[in-house]
């Protein structure tokens, strides 16, 4: 695979598990362990993932630039 896809794969590997965990937490918090909670969580994740992925593609470069301006000590 070409190196230019590294950024997109990296973002997906970060956002994927994070949104899956948040979907489980949100569904369990709002609905509890009722029947079908796993299906609700997965369906919620399918909605959350593309939104979070798109936002991360814009937010990560801005965060990197802002972090680059901070003077860190060793």
Report the pLDDT value the prediction gives residue 16, as an integer from 0 to 100.
93
pLDDT band (50, 70, 90) for residue 7: confident
Number of domains within the chain: 1
Q: Is residue 33 part of a domain?
A: yes
Q: Is residue 42 part of a domain?
A: yes
Provide the whole-model pTM: 0.79
Report the pLDDT value the prediction gives residue 46, as an integer from 0 to 100.
95
For 45-62, how does the pLDDT look when each residue is reduced to its tens digit (9 = 90+)? 999 999 999 999 999 999
Q: Which residues contact 16 (CB under 8 A, 6 or more apart)?
A: 49
Q: Is residue 31 part of a domain?
A: yes
Local structure of 36: helix, strand or coil: coil
For 16-43, how does the pLDDT look when each residue is reduced to its tens digit (9 = 90+)? 999 999 999 999 999 889 898 999 999 9
User: Within 13 A of 61's CA, how many CA atoms are on the CB side?
Assistant: 6
Closest Cα partner for 23 from 45, 47, 39? 45
């Amino acid at each position: 695979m070409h190196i230019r896809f590294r950024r997109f794969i990296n973002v997906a590997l970060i956002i994927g598990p994070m949104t899956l965990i948040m979907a489980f937490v949100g569904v369990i918090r709002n609905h509890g362990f009722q029947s079908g909670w796993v299906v609700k969580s997965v369906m919620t994740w399918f909605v959350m993932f593309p939104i979070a992925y798109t936002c991360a593609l814009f937010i990560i470069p801005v965060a990197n630039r802002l972090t680059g301006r901070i003077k860190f000590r060793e």
